[in-house]
A and B are shown apart, each in its own frame.
Chain A
């Protein structure tokens, strides 16, 4: 009984999304909502990876393209394209465009390898690698993805 509880405490749920050929895990605690792709209003002079803003239930929410942020080829909007609404702070939501939302998995702490000390841009966005029966999944470090490194510098 106790053992089971412990395990539950240490394990986390991740939403598995697809970007191109790769799979990424996003900690479910950051995800407020998942919506279909919708009309995005362009914001002029914004950072290139910001596609613009969308209207979610009366709130104006900026939307970023993870593909552009990660240096992949630009998004092609298909039927499976989704926007994940991420909330890091209560008053500041942000949308992230992904090619597809696949499933929710549970990873216990011992199935996660902490991020290796890579120096390229992409590894900064990862918090670790999760092992699951059908392969490995990169876990995104959401706060790092949201922070605008260009403006911080």
Chain B
């Protein structure tokens, strides 16, 4: 049997639980007495353990088990959440995360036992409870079955050859057990559990028979119990532990099979034919006997029911679900898991639809209007509304709150704070801001870089802060919000700010810029030097940051996503890194413009205004054309020259200028004509054409013609 089909779910859910644990333990650190938190933690840890067990990840299960024990003691009020313990728990979570990473890559949990963490947890438990070693182990034993009936072993009839094998084993001194395993009725992956039981037993010995057949068990054709006959050299207790280590096993009944009880010694050469019917009769009481060690405290009526062998599972079925998984039910929300590829397909189809719609619109545009045309027009407008809504809905489906990325940051800042010996707090807002799934996947690392930078370089040491009259505890802010068609994420700190002079000196020392260049550069341009490859101003290269691989990578990544990053910094007051990202990557609003007889699209997001400028108003600064607009001087870019457009007609008396912005830098693009606003679908022009990145893509217009999309970031 194969559990790999559940791997995806396992990975997703484990991630969720780990995140939950991280968050809750952070709260616990601040409020050690918070009962809700402790309960949440316990619940998450318990589910995690169960899942790891199901999938057969023993090391992972063991670690979670020990962590769960600790939580359980805290919950029972027997222990306190000391800082020491919290550290240990976080280390445990990290270890679990690394198990998960290994599992994602190799489908196996690897070989790291993390014994030191487990030992640490044991020690904390012993100290906390004031007990001697060994005892705490018993407390919340891995038996998830302090409930319901005393189950009963099923009796197995051995076939001739099986009996022979059994007797041969017996002669060799093996134990022969009849084992009946009861799975919790709430268990969803029965077959998976059974598989794990089989796996565990096969390590211990040989299974010579099972009821139902192995194939049926794999196909989940069984109730909540199954039985087998095992030949093993191991003692009964060891087998029991092995089975109970598989989670969601309610109970197990092990009885020595008595095929030889009466006969073996006396009749060394058994007569199989006669033996077979005899064995069952003598075994019935045997099987009943082991029900005694089953957990005490169950209701009497249940026990009575259990006396009738097969009635027991039925009784359990009705009882248990209410008890075991009740808390998990609360989290049910009405959602469907969809493969991202299916969403991409859907998106492509919507794109095609928009192209077709644009085709209809443009067909309708020419020619005179007749009465028929006007109703046609109405229908087209209706179609337009529907496609726009459809597009928005599909986009919305692909949107994921940024929370899924940023929720790991509080934990990171906490660790950094400890590591760097600086007190700091992270304040986050706008976690519910949504971004396209593809963007979300990529934005995590850049943000992490920026936060690390803020913690390491941005914030001063606590003493320094006190000396400067600032609050001792440094603050880092992460704000996300939507602004037009962009999402803005700001990473801010109230630290020292960027020392422009220092950056300049460094750049000079490295030969990044010359003396003359340095003179001419504005502060802003100098700050932008930080985004050059391998440029780090940290004097000490620390574990956290300062290797100079940070900011340039951040910038490249963000630009690859179609966004940009801007830096604002005030010396002594802090820095602010502002990231702007497009909401979506596939469909954008653009302004269509004409140059000669070619059409180009300029993304609306980067357009500030459109101006009509008289030729006389064009001034020259350092031989470059500029215009003065509402107090600011804006350089002009003659697109027809940049794009080698063939010129038709004579120079007009006034220029149509599209003012675009990149960060807070403005530029005016001179175009021949404005066509209008259009929602377009971005298509790649393929990898074969290289054109110095001026063109970021192409789109197909309604009449089938292609228009190219200008990349404003490269132009300006």
On A, residues with C-beta under 8 Å from B are 39, 41-47, 50, 53-55, 58-62, 64, 92-94, 146, 148, 151
Contacting pair B686 A94 (CB below 8 A):
yes
Q: Decide yes or no: A58 and B352 within 8 Å by CB, A41-B708, A46-B690, A148-B690 being known contacts.
A: yes
Q: Which residues of A contact B691 (CB under 8 A)?
A: 43-46
Q: Which residues of A contact B685 (CB under 8 A)?
A: 43, 53, 60, 62
Q: Which residues of A contact B707 (CB under 8 A)?
A: 41
Proximity string of chain B (673-716) to chain A, C-beta cutoff 8 Å, 1 when within and 0 when not: 00000000001111111111011001010001111100000000
Contacting pair B644 A58 (CB below 8 A):
no
Q: Which of B683, B687, B690, B704 contacts A92 (CB 8 A)?
A: B687
Q: Which residues of B contact A146 (CB under 8 A)?
A: 688
In the docked arrangement, what's the CA distance between A39 and B599, Å? 13
Determine how close the nearest CB of chain A comes to the CB of B676; give it in whole angstroms.
Answer: 19
Write the chain A residue with the least CB distance to B706: A41
Contacting pair A62 B689 (CB below 8 A):
yes
Write the chain B residue with the least CB distance to A61: B686
Proximity string of chain B (25-49) to chain A, C-beta cutoff 8 Å, 1 when within and 0 when not: 0000000000000000000000000
Contacting pair A46 B689 (CB below 8 A):
yes
Known: A43-B708, A53-B686, A148-B688. 19 other contacts (CB 8 A): A39-B705, A41-B706, A44-B642, A44-B695, A45-B691, A45-B692, A53-B689, A53-B706, A53-B708, A55-B700, A58-B355, A58-B700, A60-B684, A60-B686, A60-B698, A62-B685, A62-B686, A94-B686, A151-B690
Q: Which of A46, A60, A92 contacts B706 (CB 8 A)?
A: A60
| Main SS at interface, chain A | strand
B643 beta carbon closer than 8 Å to chain A? yes
Q: Which residues of A contact B689 (CB under 8 A)?
A: 43, 46-47, 50, 53, 62
Q: List 21 contacting pairs A-B, 8 Å CB cutoff, sorted by A.
A: A39-B705, A41-B707, A41-B708, A43-B685, A44-B643, A44-B645, A44-B695, A44-B708, A53-B685, A53-B686, A53-B698, A53-B706, A55-B700, A59-B683, A60-B683, A60-B685, A60-B686, A60-B706, A62-B686, A92-B688, A146-B688
Q: Which residues of A contact B686 (CB under 8 A)?
A: 53, 60-62, 92-94
In the docked arrangement, what's the CA distance between A141 and B439, Å? 39
Write the chain A residue with the least CB distance to B639: A44
In the docked arrangement, what's the CA distance between A126 and B685, Å? 27
Write the chain A residue with the least CB distance to B693: A45
Q: Which of B593-647 contact A (CB under 8 A)?
A: 598, 642-645
Determine how close the nearest CB of chain B comes to the CB of A87; give it in whole angstroms.
Answer: 11
Q: Which residues of B contact A46 (CB under 8 A)?
A: 689-691
In the docked arrangement, what's the CA distance between A62 and B695, Å? 13
Q: Which of A41, A45, A50, A93 contacts B698 (CB 8 A)?
A: A41
Proximity string of chain B (53-81) to chain A, C-beta cutoff 8 Å, 1 when within and 0 when not: 00000000000000000000000000000
In the docked arrangement, what's the CA distance between A113 and B135, Å? 84
Contacting pair B598 A43 (CB below 8 A):
no
Determine how close the nearest CB of chain B comes to the CB of A83; give it in whole angstroms.
Answer: 14
Q: Which residues of B contact A60 (CB under 8 A)?
A: 683-686, 698, 700, 706
Determine how close the nearest CB of chain A comes to the CB of B323; give it in whole angstroms.
Answer: 54
In the docked arrangement, what's the CA distance between A151 and B704, Å? 31
Q: Which residues of B contact A45 (CB under 8 A)?
A: 643-644, 691-692, 694
In the docked arrangement, what's the CA distance between A59 and B698, Å? 10
Q: Which residues of A contact B684 (CB under 8 A)?
A: 60
In the docked arrangement, what's the CA distance between A59 and B687, Å? 14
Write the chain B residue with the least CB distance to A39: B705
Determine how close the nearest CB of chain A comes to the CB of B683; give it in whole angstroms.
Answer: 4
Determine how close the nearest CB of chain A comes to the CB of B612; give it in whole angstroms.
Answer: 25
Q: Which of B387-416 contact A (CB under 8 A)?
A: none
Determine how close the nearest CB of chain A comes to the CB of B387; give it in whole angstroms.
Answer: 15
Contacting pair A55 B690 (CB below 8 A):
no
Q: Decide yes or no: A41 and B705 within 8 Å by CB, A55-B700, A58-B355 being known contacts.
A: yes
Q: Which residues of B contact A94 (CB under 8 A)?
A: 686, 688
In the docked arrangement, what's the CA distance between A61 and B686, Å? 7
In the docked arrangement, what's the CA distance between A42 and B646, Å? 11
Write the chain B residue with the least CB distance to A40: B706
Write the chain B residue with the least CB distance to A38: B704
The 7 closest A-B pairs by CB, nearest first: A44-B643, A45-B691, A41-B706, A60-B683, A60-B698, A46-B691, A46-B689
Contacting pair B598 A42 (CB below 8 A):
yes
Determine how close the nearest CB of chain B comes to the CB of A54; give it in whole angstroms.
Answer: 7
Write the chain B residue with the least CB distance to A42: B598
Determine how close the nearest CB of chain B comes to the CB of A26; give it in whole angstroms.
Answer: 17
Write the chain B residue with the least CB distance to A94: B688
In the docked arrangement, what's the CA distance between A60 and B681, Å? 11
Determine how close the nearest CB of chain B comes to the CB of A41; give it in whole angstroms.
Answer: 4
In the docked arrangement, what's the CA distance between A8 and B590, Å? 54
Q: Which residues of B contact A44 (CB under 8 A)?
A: 642-645, 691, 694-695, 708
In the docked arrangement, what's the CA distance between A64 and B704, Å? 20
In the docked arrangement, what's the CA distance between A62 and B352, Å? 20
Determine how close the nearest CB of chain A comes to the CB of B607; give it in whole angstroms.
Answer: 20
Determine how close the nearest CB of chain B comes to the CB of A61; give it in whole angstroms.
Answer: 7
Write the chain A residue with the least CB distance to B692: A45
Q: Which residues of A contact B352 (CB under 8 A)?
A: 58
In the docked arrangement, what's the CA distance between A135 and B30, Å? 88
Write the chain A residue with the least CB distance to B352: A58
Q: Which of B687, B690, B706 contacts A54 (CB 8 A)?
A: B706
Determine how close the nearest CB of chain B comes to the CB of A134; give it in whole angstroms.
Answer: 34
Determine how close the nearest CB of chain B comes to the CB of A144; give it in whole angstroms.
Answer: 13
Determine how close the nearest CB of chain A comes to the CB of B356; give it in whole angstroms.
Answer: 9
Q: Which residues of A contact B695 (CB under 8 A)?
A: 43-44
Q: Which residues of B contact A47 (CB under 8 A)?
A: 689-690
Determine how close the nearest CB of chain A comes to the CB of B24; give it in whole angstroms.
Answer: 45
Q: Which residues of B contact A151 (CB under 8 A)?
A: 690
